[in-house]
């Protein structure tokens, strides 16, 4: 039987030092010592052992271990969870008394500390009457009432007790006696303290309410969980990517509003002519009234802004007045566009590397089936609707995991692989031929559209965006039909192939359009503001792409569902085309990056487009689409989408803008660079003016020449960026290898432990059969093994502890 627990609480009543309060340093010391106390008591409990009564033989014929073996198992660090609640309250009572009285106090004497049993079902014999939790709890409440409010709250937060116990102690310590002592000892200080805490709590509650309001205002607050539960992670990856694009465009728009559009709107230039009235057609064409606003490049002046500009001189240079602000609009325009592109590049690379690390760190899905079955449910969910969504989510995850496991178990035959390779080659030839035909068609039609349209016929400018959108939509449907002939076994491979074909199509068309804008229109419009035309053209492409996305949602999903249900009498809905929809997002974002230089407010149009697209696609998905017939696990989809957004899309847009800034001559009739040979010369002109104005700034031309004009610095930064990406990829690969090795080591350590436990059990069984006094030795021998078990357990390393945990 276990020994009785004797608790001696010697609390002398002293009245002379009740008002003495400890310092924060002493409080921190107390809580640090409490952590050490937990470790000491766990060690003592491991050394003393526990008297365990074997329940019997386990069901299924597995033999039950002897009591000596069970005591050694219970003394292992992984099985010793902690001490009893009574011991914690008793120890904190002593700490509180010592803290408040500033005198040495006798500790609890001869307390036999107990440990909680393991996960095994064995009875633990302890004398419950010796704990006397009620008495110790009341003594602790008495001592807590003597502390200040701050010390009492800090002490309660540090106690390793349940919330119900802490709440009970807090209520009792705020009882009538505690309030009376606080009022009599401190007077008005207590009221001020309560008022201060009330204000803090009110502000905290207000902040939480604002955060919850912002959280509820997000359009994807509940939608993403619902989509994940009904359609799986593959469809969810599209909406997560759309959410990421919203963040990128918001980051892109804020500096442009602050340093370009807002400043120019505060100091408007002299009008170039009468502004036309708003007719509504500008929402489609982007011209007309919008051309006389901060929407486009041509509205911005080329002067140092101070106040509304006077009438322009013959050279077209806006004359500045006395007392002007040192804010050069050409320099601000160039630096702001460069800064937003650099910030976007850094953010995009960081997001891609972070997503790569999260997706490929573990490198395998082995063992997640049991985790999904037994550990996926969130017990904080209480609402019926939320629990239903969580149930659908877990069910969809299991389908995806099982489908991936089934693909590994069903390899394809050699003849089937050969036939698939032949079909794949033919389909790829047809797709590449279609892409080249679309590129030739766009180039031919753009040559026809080089000549400017007459005034009042701006509707004709929508012809080229209309043709490009029709070709993009028609080719994507053709690719989808050809993909049905390939019959890929893996749906992941099918999506990747579709993404590759649509990406090649859209990048080739964008390359032809870039040549059309910077190669043909600059030469065809020598006396007009070609920058405004390019900005308006990119606006028209964005709007037309959005309209075709709406038409595709209407006819490709809604009408097809109605025909399938009403006419064909099928209960089969169309599936959500992930590849085509994701490439539409990348295509629209590329158009936005291409137009930032010519239309600074184009990211605002893209944000509005993405928000509308999110709502339309969500509604169509819930009403007109069904879950994929072959579920698949989209582990790396977000990483692939960000990679495609970075390298083909962003890199191509950066090359396009660098060529426009360094090589193309700006228009001489509009814009902040109208008097310069290239946009890049705005920085050189500013450095020369600064050098002539101040003799002490002679180092600026040297710094500008070596850091900006010298291409070596640009190549060095690019090389460093690529090196960081490469090192990050190698680190992630190394982490995956180390994780695999650690998993193997954990398995080996577990097998070693099982082997040692079986050997120990067999040794004690032989001793019990051979000696008449085996029972006595079974009590003494495990204690010696437990005392020497520390060195054996410490030599196992962290992996063994991880397995027990």
> Tokens in use for 78?
């992984």
pLDDT in tens, 564-605: 887 777 777 888 999 999 999 999 999 999 999 999 999 999
Residues 176 and 227 in one domain: no
Alpha-carbon dihedral angle through residues 788, 790, 795, 799, given to the nearest 10 degrees? 140
CA dist list (Å): 540 to 35, 98, 518, 544:
66, 77, 17, 6
Output the pTM of the full model.
Answer: 0.70
> Tokens in use for 250?
């918001």
Distance CA 243, CA 226 (A): 15
Residues 407 and 467 in one domain: yes
> Tokens in use for 405?
């496991």
**Are residues 2 and 129 in contact, defined by beta-carbon separation less than 8 angstroms?**
no
Residue 683 lies in a domain: no
Distance CA 539, CA 592 (A): 8
**Other C-beta atoms lying within 10 Å of the C-beta of residue 574:** 15
> Tokens in use for 661?
């800034």
Residue 192 lies in a domain: no
Show the beta-strand stretches assigned E in 527-621: none
Residues 631 and 748 in one domain: no
Name the residue among 172, 135, 136, 137 with its Cα closest to residue 152. Answer: 172
Residue 469 lies in a domain: yes
- Residue 237 host element (H or E): helix 223-256
**Are residues 446 and 275 in contact, defined by beta-carbon separation less than 8 angstroms?**
no
List b or e across 189-203, with b for residues whose CB sees 16 or more CB atoms inside 10 angstroms.
ebeeeeeeeeeeeee
Residue 109's pLDDT is 40
Residues 673 and 714 in one domain: no
Name the residue among 86, 90, 84, 91 with its Cα closest to residue 50. Answer: 84
Residues 176 and 253 in one domain: no
Residue 524 lies in a domain: yes
Angle between helices 602-624 and 530-553 (to 10 degrees): 10
pLDDT in tens, 480-496: 999 988 888 788 889 99
Residues 88 and 231 in one domain: no
Name the residue among 521, 542, 543 with its Cα closest to residue 532. Answer: 521
* pLDDT under 70: residue ranges of the chain: 1-132, 175-190, 306-325, 357, 360-371, 408-412, 451-457, 694-698, 772-805
Residue 796's pLDDT is 41
The residues, any chain, with a CB within 8 Å of residue 98's CB and separated by 6 or more, are 104, 105
Residue 690 lies in a domain: no
> Tokens in use for 620?
């169509």
Q: How many domains are there within the chain?
A: 3
Residues 534 and 650 in one domain: yes
Distance CA 144, CA 495 (A): 64
Distance CA 452, CA 703 (A): 44
**Are residues 653 and 594 in contact, defined by beta-carbon separation less than 8 angstroms?**
yes
**Are residues 678 and 663 in contact, defined by beta-carbon separation less than 8 angstroms?**
yes
- Residue 123 host element (H or E): strand 123-124
DSSP secondary structure code for residue 109 in this structure = P
Residue 737 lies in a domain: yes
Residue 231 lies in a domain: yes
H-helix segments, 275-383: 282-285, 329-360, 368-375
**Are residues 367 and 374 in contact, defined by beta-carbon separation less than 8 angstroms?**
no
Residue 43's pLDDT is 54
Residues 603 and 720 in one domain: no
Residues 498 and 619 in one domain: yes
Residue 165's pLDDT is 80
CA dist list (Å): 5 to 2, 8, 64, 114, 123:
9, 10, 30, 10, 18
Residues 258 and 335 in one domain: yes
Name the residue among 287, 284, 300 with its Cα closest to residue 337. Answer: 300
**HEC readout, 24-36:** HHHHHHHHHHHHH
Residues 243 and 174 in one domain: no
Residues 131 and 34 in one domain: yes
Residue 523's pLDDT is 74
Residue 695 lies in a domain: no
Query: Whole domain around residue 144: which residue ranges?
Result: 24-186
């Amino acid at each position: 039987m276990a020994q009785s627990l004797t608790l001696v609480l010697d609390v002398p009543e002293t009245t002379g030092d009740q008002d003495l309060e400890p310092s924060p340093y002493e409080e921190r010391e107390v809580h640090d010592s409490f952590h050490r106390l937990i470790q000491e008591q766990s060690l003592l409990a491991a050394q003393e052992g526990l008297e365990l009564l074997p329940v019997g033989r386990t069901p299924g014929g597995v033999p039950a271990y002897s009591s000596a073996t069970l005591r050694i198992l219970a003394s292992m660090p992984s099985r010793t969870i902690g001490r009893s609640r009574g011991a914690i309250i008793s120890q904190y009572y002593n700490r509180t008394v010592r803290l408040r009285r500033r005198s040495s106090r006798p500790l609890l004497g001869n307390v036999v500390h107990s440990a909680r049993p393991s996960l095994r079902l064995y009875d633990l014999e302890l004398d419950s009457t010796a704990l006397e939790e009620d008495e110790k709890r009341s003594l602790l409440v008495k001592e807590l009432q003597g502390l200040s409010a701050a010390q009492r709250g800090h002490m309660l937060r540090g106690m390793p007790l349940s919330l119900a116990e802490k709440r009970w102690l807090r209520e009792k310590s705020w009882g009538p006696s505690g309030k009376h002592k606080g009022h009599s000892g401190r007077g008005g200080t207590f009221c001020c303290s309560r008022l201060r805490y009330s204000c803090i709590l009110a502000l905290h509650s207000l902040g939480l309410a604002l955060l919850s309001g912002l959280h509820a205002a997000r359009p994807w607050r509940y939608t993403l969980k619902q989509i994940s539960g009904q359609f799986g992670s593959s469809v969810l990856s599209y909406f997560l990517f759309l959410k990421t694009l919203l963040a990128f465009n918001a980051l892109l728009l804020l500096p442009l509003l602050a340093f370009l559009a807002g400043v120019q709107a505060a100091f408007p230039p002299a009008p170039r002519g009468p502004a036309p009235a708003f007719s509504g057609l500008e929402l489609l064409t982007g011209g007309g009234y919008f051309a006389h606003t901060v929407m486009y490049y041509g509205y911005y002046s080329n002067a140092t802004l101070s106040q509304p500009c006077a009438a322009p001189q013959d050279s077209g240079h806006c004359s500045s007045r006395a007392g002007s602000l040192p804010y050069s609009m050409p320099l601000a325009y160039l630096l702001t566009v460069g800064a937003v592109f650099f910030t976007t590049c850094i953010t995009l690379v960081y997001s891609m590397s972070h997503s790569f690390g999260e997706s490929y760190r573990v490198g395998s899905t082995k063992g997640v089936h049991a985790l999904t079955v037994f550990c996926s449910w969130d017990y904080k969910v209480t609402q019926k609707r939320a629990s239903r969504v969580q149930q659908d989510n877990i069910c969809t995850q299991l389908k995806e995991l099982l489908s991936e496991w089934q693909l590994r178990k069903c390899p394809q035959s050699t003849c089937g692989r050969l036939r698939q390779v032949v079909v794949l080659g033919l389909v790829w030839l047809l797709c590449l031929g279609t892409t080249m035909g679309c590129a030739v068609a766009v180039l031919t039609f753009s040559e026809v559209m080089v000549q400017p349209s007459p005034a009042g016929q701006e509707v004709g400018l929508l012809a080229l965006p209309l043709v490009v959108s029709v070709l993009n939509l028609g080719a994507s449907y053709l690719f989808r039909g050809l993909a049905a002939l390939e019959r890929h076994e893996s749906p992941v491979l099918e999506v990747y192939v579709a993404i590759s074909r649509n990406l090649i199509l859209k990048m080739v068309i964008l390359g032809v359009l870039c040549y059309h804008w910077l190669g043909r229109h600059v030469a065809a419009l020598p006396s007009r503001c070609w920058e405004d035309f390019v900005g308006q053209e990119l606006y028209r492409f964005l709007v037309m792409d959005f309209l075709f996305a709406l038409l595709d949602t209407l006819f490709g999903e809604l009408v097809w569902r109605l025909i399938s249900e009403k006419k064909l009498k099928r209960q089969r809905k169309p599936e959500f085309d992930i590849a085509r929809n994701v490439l539409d997002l990348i295509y629209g974002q590329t158009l936005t990056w291409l137009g930032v230089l010519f239309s600074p407010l184009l990211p605002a149009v893209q944000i509005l487009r993405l928000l509308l697209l999110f709502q339309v696609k969500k509604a169509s998905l819930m009403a007109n689409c069904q879950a994929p017939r072959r579920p698949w696990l989209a582990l790396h989809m977000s990483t692939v989408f960000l990679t495609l957004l970075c390298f083909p899309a962003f890199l191509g847009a950066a090359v396009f803008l660098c060529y426009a800034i360094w090589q193309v001559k700006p228009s001489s009739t509009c814009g902040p660079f109208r008097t310069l040979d290239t946009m890049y010369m705005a920085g050189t002109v500013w450095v020369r003016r600064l050098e002539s104005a101040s003799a002490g700034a002679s180092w600026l031309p040297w710094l500008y020449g070596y850091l900006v004009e010298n291409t070596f610095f640009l190549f060095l930064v690019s090389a460093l960026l690529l090196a960081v990406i490469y090192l990050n990829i190698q680190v992630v690969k190394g982490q995956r290898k180390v994780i695999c090795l650690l998993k193997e080591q954990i398995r080996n350590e577990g097998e070693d432990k099982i082997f040692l436990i079986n050997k120990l059990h067999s040794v004690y069984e032989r001793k019990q059969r051979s000696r008449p006094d085996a029972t006595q030795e079974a009590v003494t021998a495990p204690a010696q093994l437990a005392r020497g078990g520390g060195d054996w357990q410490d030599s196992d390393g962290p992996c063994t502890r991880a397995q027990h945990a």
